[in-house]
Amino acid sequence: MLFCPLTRSELERANDITQAQLHILLLDCSDRTRRERLEGRNWATVRIDEACEDARELRETVDFRLSTDEHPPSQLAREIVNWMRTTLP
């Protein structure tokens, strides 16, 4: 299991290198929430804009997403475990 902010194309390159079969689950939030969280961490506006653009790209390419806006951490953890049990070999 790898938790990282890679795009699908970056993961596909990793698949080619490692010969592994990788599955993708996106933990996502709205751009508004993302901005609020990153502003709270004192990120520069340009970096926040880039993070929101990256998130939009991921939303277009990743099939399974869980919203950190809608689910509390304990429910997210249960959803991730369920996803792993049903998806991973």
Please spell the DSSP secondary structure of 14-62, one letter per residue.
HHHHH-------EEE--HHHHHHHHHHTT--HHHHHHHHHHHHHHHHH-
Is 20 part of any domain?
yes
- Is 77 part of a structural domain of the chain? no
In a domain, 26, yes or no: yes
Residue 1 belongs to a domain: no
Q: Is residue 80 part of a domain?
A: no
For residue 79, tell me if it sits in a domain. no
Please write the tens of the pLDDT for every residue from 8-44: 777 777 767 666 677 888 999 999 999 999 999 999 9
H or E element at residue 36: helix 31-40
> Could you give the CA distance from residue 8 to residue 41 in angstroms, rounded to a whole number?
26
Confidence (pLDDT) at 50: 95
pTM for this one? 0.76
Residue 37 lies in a domain: yes
Q: Which amino acid is at 82?
A: N
Model pLDDT, residue 40: 97
| Count of the separate structural domains present in the chain | 1
In a domain, 56, yes or no: yes
Residue with tokens 């990743």: 62
- Model pLDDT, residue 18: 64
Range of the domain at 46: 8-71
